[in-house]
Amino acid sequence: MKMRLPLEIAENRVVLNAVIESKRLRIAHRFARFVFDTGSPYSFLSEKEVLRLQIPIKCRVIAGEVDFGGSRFSRVYLPPVTLHLLQEDKIRYVSFDVHLKALKTMKQSLEKRRTAQSLPSVLGMDFLTEQKLSLHLFSSEKIAYLEFESL
């Protein structure tokens, strides 16, 4: 049986609204938004979300660097997080364990830091592949959803 998970189209971007949870990161249940970017091989939490969710990343291992939105960031390893997503019937939700990395800007000047912090969290191709999800978008109808095979 196929199940659908509704997505939002905001400012002509495909947005996934979720509740994020991680005991190891001490994130109780918190609402979070992610922009879908099928041009990105990776998924990550933006610096804005790292600050908002008060995730300590100073002592965590750096996975390397990445250029994103005109800024260079360090990619920081995080333990897996759980994302809870609303189902199509809007009375149930489904949960996924997801591997995300956190972004930390390498910029020092106030203006460049602000530009880097304005970028959203992103779900890339790795999320769709690992979770075996298909992404459906009907842009002219402003309809978008994820679909997966439920057991």
Choices 25-33, 71-79, 96-104, 123-131; region in contact with another protein by CB under 8 A: 25-33
Vertex 12: Cα angle to 91 and 95 (nearest 5)? 30
Choices 57-65, 71-79, 88-96, 131-139; region in contact with another protein by CB under 8 A: 88-96
Q: Applying CB under 8 A, which of residues 14, 25, 34, 37 lies at the interface with another protein?
A: 37
| Residue 119 makes contact with another protein by CB under 8 A | yes
The amino acid that residue 106 corresponds to is M
Q: Of 39 and 61, which has the nearer Cβ to another protein?
A: 39
| Residue 14 makes contact with another protein by CB under 8 A | no
DSSP annotation of 139 reads: G
| Residue 69 makes contact with another protein by CB under 8 A | yes
Q: Of 99 and 120, which has the nearer Cβ to another protein?
A: 120
| Contact indicator for 15, 84 with CB cutoff of 8 Å | no
| Residue 104 makes contact with another protein by CB under 8 A | no
- CA atoms of 37 and 18, how far apart (whole Å): 16
Q: Applying CB under 8 A, which of residues 25, 53, 103, 146 lies at the interface with another protein?
A: 53
For residue 20, give both structure tokens: 């994020």
DSSP annotation of 20 reads: E
> DSSP H helical segments within 15-132, as ranges?
47-52, 110-117, 125-130
> How distant is the alpha carbon of residue 117 from its chain centre?
15
Residue 22, SS3 per DSSP: strand
Instruction: State the minimum distance, in angstroms, from the CB of residue 90 to another protein.
Output: 8
| Residue 33 makes contact with another protein by CB under 8 A | yes
